[in-house]
Structure 1
Amino acid sequence: MGVELATDRAGFHEMEEVNFSDSELVYHVRHALQSVPLGDSDSYDQLIGVLHHKERLAPDEVALLVTSLKALSGAVSCIDMVHHKSLLSSIFGMSLWNYGPDVMDALLELILSLAASSGNYLDCSLDMLVSNFMPPYSLLDFLKQPRGLARKDQVLSRVHSTLKDIADLVPLAPSRLVPIVIQRMPNVFTKEPLIMIYVENMLRLEGGAIRELVGNMMLVALMDRLVDLDVEIAWEEVLQDDCSKGIFEMELEDMEEPADDVENDGGELHRGSLSRKSLGGNLIAEKLDSLMVLTFEHLESCEAGGRLIEVFETLVLSFQTTVLNAFKSKFAQFVMFYACALDPENCGVRFARVLADFFVCSTFPPLNRMSAVAYLASYLSRGKFLTASFVANILERLVVWCLEYCKIHDGDINPKAHQVFYSGCQAIMYVLCFRMRSMMNVPHLRSQLLLLPLETILKHPLSPLKVCLPSIVEEFLRQAKAARLFTVSETFIFSDLLESELSRAFGGIERLDMFFPFDPCLLKKCDRFIRPNFVYWSMIRTTYDDGEDSSDEEPAEDYEASHPDDVMNDDAMARSYDSHDLELDEFDHSMNKMSITPKNSLYYRFGDELKVQMPSRIRPSTSPESL
């Protein structure tokens, strides 16, 4: 294998000038193969010359090549791995993309014969087919033309058909195919057109004739690659290029006086307004964006085919082993979000319950449980397709767990020892910042919420209000007071809203206290899939909105109050999207609404108390400071 041979042009003409019938050519090929161990390799070398010749083939040359390949198919039993390494190297090195349909068919017939004839050739045959998932680099521009697209269809339809034929003949083949596909998968630095076409083939395997044998692993490998791309996006390096337009820099902090690139908006200071435009030119981000769109479209086809639930189970397992453990994944998790949006009643409910189960299970590592509840809080807050009733039920489960924790822990504040508890408390408050009004507007949910022992938990000696992220605590207390959720006593009010040492210690180096993974997705192409299903902070009318105007902006549309029903059908969802479809500028503005770690310059007055608005994004899930 791997032996390089120069094209034997003279040998090619010698064979070309002899008029062989099909049966005579098969005999000639057999003789050529059998002569090699005897020391006679002339005919064998001529045969290899025929296989190597691929440029500007004349019709008679094409005919000879086709006939030679067919003759080899009939003489597979004579091929020996030791004596015919050069021949095998030539066969397995041929690219279908360089030939027309007749040669493709003859070559694939030979590959099928080799795969079925001996286990020795199975892996090489599968590897040759997988290598044809991608075209030669020189053909990339050709594929943009109509003729190139036709060639692409000719090649890939034959490749997948042959893989199915091999699987039918060799039961072992699918299990050998999976590691080959994964090993040959392009790395994160491969050019976008090549990695896109490779992933197209992986998804074709996932949804094709042998999906029951290989489909699960294709999805797992794809999710792994999405995470690989995600973590390769180095925000801090991009910020060094232009610190005034930080990709995920939310607010200007530690600034004493406004600068030219800072605007004063309703008491808030913004610098380098956060926008998806900031990702322009980031090749890794653009590649990830395109691959996620491809994945979204595949999920849509699965939903249309009635097998989304089956596929989702694989995604859940992949999420638990890969995405959940990825340090503050930025975008890859939106595959889960969109799958849930496509089927809220099954996938949407299942995902939330999986996250809740993960959080309450004491056998999992603390950081994993904190990550799970951060995902859960962000998901319950942002999923437009989730009913208020379902969100309330999941919240009740979190509250019950936190209450039980309080009953068995009487110690003082200790952010490190009780980080899982604090993450649960913060998740509850975060979700209520988004959902409190919608729950209070539905009588039975209001009753359910009022019965929750929140005050008992928040006043416990573990003091979650002094440890959790101040901006979330403050927004929650403000809404709770307006909704009369409980008596907001003076012990709930802080004179200093800056992060304390206790707050900074919560979550340790990872700072999972500030990680909310379903913050608005900034990938441009993904937006058309996510936006109709996503709740932006600018859509929320809080419990205190009716009685005050907290900024100079026009009031945000009351998304929560406009959907009092617990179940939203598809038509209602579509109308909701139409009524809340923000322009890009509005979207970018909504993500810059609030600070995460408030400074004095970000305060504004509410009565006699200092108040901080809810952040539209929670830093540092996308902040370079945390990376």
Structure 2
Amino acid sequence: MGVELRNGEAMGFQELDDADFTDSDLVYHVRDALTSVSMGDSDKYNELVAVMHHRGHLAPDEVALLVTSLKALSGAVSYIDSVLHESLLASIFSMSMWSYRPDVMDALLELIISLAASSGKYVDSCLDMLVGNFTPPPYFTDMLKQPRGIARKDQVLSRVHSSLKVLADLVPLSPMRLLPIIMQRKPHYCSKETTLVIYVENMLKLESGVFGELVRSTMLAGLVDLLLDLDVEIGWDDILQDESAKGIFNMELEDVDEAIDDELMDDGELPKELSRKSLVGNLFAEKLDSLMVLMFEHLESCDVGGRLVEVFETLLQSFQKTVLTAYKSKFSQFVMFYACALDPENCGVRFANMLADTFISNAHPRLLRMSAAAYLASYLSRGKFLPPSLIANTLKRLVDWCLDYSKIQEDDINPKAHRVFYSGCQAIMYVLCFRMRSVMGVPWFKSQLHAPINLILSHKLSPLKVCLPSIVTEFLRQSKAAGLFTTSERFDFDDYLESEFSRAFGGMERLDMFFPFDPCLLKRSDSFIRPSYVYWSMVRPTYDDDQEDSSDEEVDEAPLGGNARSHEGFDLDEFDNALNQMSITPKDSLKHWFGGVKKEPLRMPSRIRPSTSPESL
């Protein structure tokens, strides 16, 4: 073999950079090092492996030698044997592009692409090496806060994705081989936030690129699973501290005292000294917040690109399989909410119909149907972007099912046996507490649903005595003012305080009743959700004589309007203002309402506590 000599001796790799070699000469030199192994001479091969092992800060001559060797290997890939040269391959595949300058990165990627194209047995290893460079090595993480670290990140990731595209063209099966590698390499939810964020950025970039059609379903499902993993790690004990906080719908019982009113903030929420800051510093919450912001931004780009509906369908399938059945999902469901806010006419309607279909279908387990009812009630109540006609039509589907169910029942009150029915009744009342004014403005609503609602709620199954008392009393107040529901019994709000029936349905912990779109407590995520969200403090109940009556809008204009993208520049006032989401019940206020001297009717909260989903789910 034509190996160049100096003074009659074969050149070593350490001397390559000083010699005047052509490209062909370099390739011959590397071939000789590779083939000599099979003849029992490993000296030159070991030198080559040592060059690949160079780590840390490299001197200019070391960088030049590494680039030279990588390029020479690219021209000699057919001489590489997976058994004889195992240590060389291991060194190549373990190289981190984050540690090198662009010229080394380019030479390394040229070798990786050549290896993958030369033999199918190297494809998985090459793909794994590229995916492994999605995230920086641990020592590099802190540098990402500096301009040079950000620049290096762009240099690495742009080259990784370009190489994946080249491989897709050269090896048509590589996209399908890539998918399981990405899912296996996905960091554990306990990994550092920076690692999770960068990896998810790469997953979303692949989803929106040339691999999209092949990887979308699995990729997005994996991302939803990751969000849910983080979500369920956030316990309600991390959020609520006082003992009176137990329960999903404990109320902020706002006294009408002028002194108390004077203490409320301008937006009608709690004074700052009562705000909850327990999620600040919670690592799981901070990770989840960052990843949800990435998802929101990705949904926005999908909307601009005209493919939001396609992506939404994939997310919806994942939602049905995981989030809808998850125990204690607190925030991850807002990915669906935001997608619906971006496209109410398509995604918004589709989501409502899916939830209604799930509740109505007897083919689904009843706990799943109860969960769907809770999601539907919360969604219809909180989505500022939803038109009254959609809300009214969806309510009609619930009312029709509950009416048909009640017609064939001869039982008296039985909270456990008829949980799906009571969930449906509670959903109807909950939505009407928020939306009574607007749906009463739909021409056919009162004429078609007045009688059915009366029949359902007056049935001897007695949903008014079983459902959550705060919902029942608020519904009765509003429906009485609107003339929607009448009862032959004496109207006494005290009849609808906590009873053994409501406790049997949900218990004091309310584990059978939850409202998953209660306000989002995650600071950055909330800035995306807030413009499209209805807070209780925005609702104008029908009994409010101080407000001018309106038939087509039940909430005041939100400060930022209804545009789902108007979160930019929004200031959450150091997280405190974001906590208008939470109701903090003063410990000494409960005695006034349950067995105490105060006899005013229970009111809906201005803020509702974060909810918990059914334990059995």
Shift of 1:56: 3.3
Shift of 1:54: 3.5
Q: Write the distance in 1 (CA, Å) between the matches of 2:469 and 2:586.
A: 11
| TM-score (structure 2 length as normaliser) | 0.86
The answer for the alignment partner of 1:76 in structure 2 is 77
CA separation of 1:224/1:470 partners in 2, compared to 1, >3 Å: closer, same or farther? same
Q: Write the distance in 2 (CA, Å) between the matches of 1:372 and 1:624.
A: 11
SS in 2 for 1:306: coil
529-538 vs 110-119, greater mean Cα deviation = 110-119
The answer for the alignment partner of 2:313 in structure 1 is 313
Q: Write the distance in 2 (CA, Å) between the matches of 1:222 and 1:52.
A: 35
Structure 1 vs Structure 2 CA RMSD: 3.8
Q: Write the distance in 2 (CA, Å) between the matches of 1:623 and 1:564.
A: 28
Correspondences of 1:15-54 after superposition (within 5 Å) = 15-54=16-55
The answer for the alignment partner of 2:401 in structure 1 is 401
Q: Write the distance in 2 (CA, Å) between the matches of 1:510 and 1:219.
A: 33
Q: Write the distance in 1 (CA, Å) between the matches of 2:366 and 2:284.
A: 31
Cα contact 2:231–2:329 (8 A) shared by 1: yes
Cα contact 2:289–2:522 (8 A) shared by 1: yes
Q: Write the distance in 2 (CA, Å) between the matches of 1:124 and 1:198.
A: 19
Query: Where in structure 1 are there 5+ consecutive unaligned residues?
Result: 1-9, 254-262, 548-554
CA separation of 1:410/1:243 partners in 2, compared to 1, >3 Å: closer, same or farther? closer
Q: Write the distance in 2 (CA, Å) between the matches of 1:104 and 1:472.
A: 62
Cα contact 1:415–1:467 (8 A) shared by 2: yes
Q: Write the distance in 2 (CA, Å) between the matches of 1:235 and 1:215.
A: 33
Q: Write the distance in 2 (CA, Å) between the matches of 1:615 and 1:478.
A: 14
Shift of 1:252: 9.2
The answer for the alignment partner of 2:523 in structure 1 is 524
The answer for the alignment partner of 1:592 in structure 2 is 583
Shift of 1:593: 7.6
CA separation of 1:200/1:82 partners in 2, compared to 1, >3 Å: closer, same or farther? same
SS in 1 for 2:277: helix
Q: Write the distance in 2 (CA, Å) between the matches of 1:439 and 1:23.
A: 80
Q: Write the distance in 2 (CA, Å) between the matches of 1:338 and 1:15.
A: 59
Equivalent position amino acid for 1:116 in 2: A
Shift of 1:408: 2.0
Q: Write the distance in 1 (CA, Å) between the matches of 2:23 and 2:608.
A: 72
Equivalent position amino acid for 1:223 in 2: V
SS in 2 for 1:330: coil
CA separation of 1:575/1:315 partners in 2, compared to 1, >3 Å: closer, same or farther? closer
The answer for the alignment partner of 1:487 in structure 2 is 486
The answer for the alignment partner of 1:614 in structure 2 is 604
Shift of 1:472: 0.6
Are 1:174 and 2:175 counterparts? yes
The answer for the alignment partner of 2:328 in structure 1 is 328
1:573 to 562, 571, 590: 562
CA separation of 1:590/1:135 partners in 2, compared to 1, >3 Å: closer, same or farther? closer
The answer for the alignment partner of 2:470 in structure 1 is 471
Cα contact 2:528–2:566 (8 A) shared by 1: no
CA separation of 1:438/1:271 partners in 2, compared to 1, >3 Å: closer, same or farther? same
Cα contact 2:340–2:351 (8 A) shared by 1: yes
Q: Write the distance in 2 (CA, Å) between the matches of 1:252 and 1:626.
A: 25
Are 1:105 and 2:106 counterparts? yes
Cα contact 1:403–1:457 (8 A) shared by 2: yes
Q: Write the distance in 2 (CA, Å) between the matches of 1:612 and 1:325.
A: 31
Shift of 1:245: 11
Cα contact 1:595–1:615 (8 A) shared by 2: no
| TM-score (structure 1 length as normaliser) | 0.85
Cα contact 2:302–2:308 (8 A) shared by 1: yes
The answer for the alignment partner of 1:602 in structure 2 is 593
Could you give the per-residue CA deviations for residues 108-129 of structure 1, whole angstroms, max 9, x where no partner exists?
1111122222222111111111
Q: Write the distance in 2 (CA, Å) between the matches of 1:59 and 1:231.
A: 50
CA separation of 1:540/1:323 partners in 2, compared to 1, >3 Å: closer, same or farther? same
Cα contact 1:235–1:624 (8 A) shared by 2: no
Cα contact 1:143–1:149 (8 A) shared by 2: yes
SS in 2 for 1:171: coil
SS in 2 for 1:486: coil
Equivalent position amino acid for 2:181 in 1: I
The answer for the alignment partner of 1:118 in structure 2 is 119
Cα contact 2:239–2:279 (8 A) shared by 1: no
CA separation of 1:244/1:461 partners in 2, compared to 1, >3 Å: closer, same or farther? closer
Could you give the per-residue CA deviations for residues 513-542 of structure 1, whole angstroms, max 9, x where no partner exists?
420000011111112111100000000110
Q: Write the distance in 2 (CA, Å) between the matches of 1:47 and 1:392.
A: 74
Q: Write the distance in 2 (CA, Å) between the matches of 1:27 and 1:334.
A: 60
400-409 vs 305-314, greater mean Cα deviation = 400-409
Q: Write the distance in 1 (CA, Å) between the matches of 2:581 and 2:539.
A: 11
Are 1:362 and 2:351 counterparts? no
Q: Which has the higher contact order (CA 8 A, sep 6+)?
A: 2
Shift of 1:93: 0.2
State the aligned residue count.
589
Cα contact 2:446–2:484 (8 A) shared by 1: no
Could you give the per-residue CA deviations for residues 388-417 of structure 1, whole angstroms, max 9, x where no partner exists?
111000000000011111122222222222
Q: Write the distance in 2 (CA, Å) between the matches of 1:362 and 1:315.
A: 24
Structure 1 residue runs of 4 or more that deviate by more than 6 Å after TM superposition: 244-250, 270-274, 575-578, 593-596, 603-606, 623-627
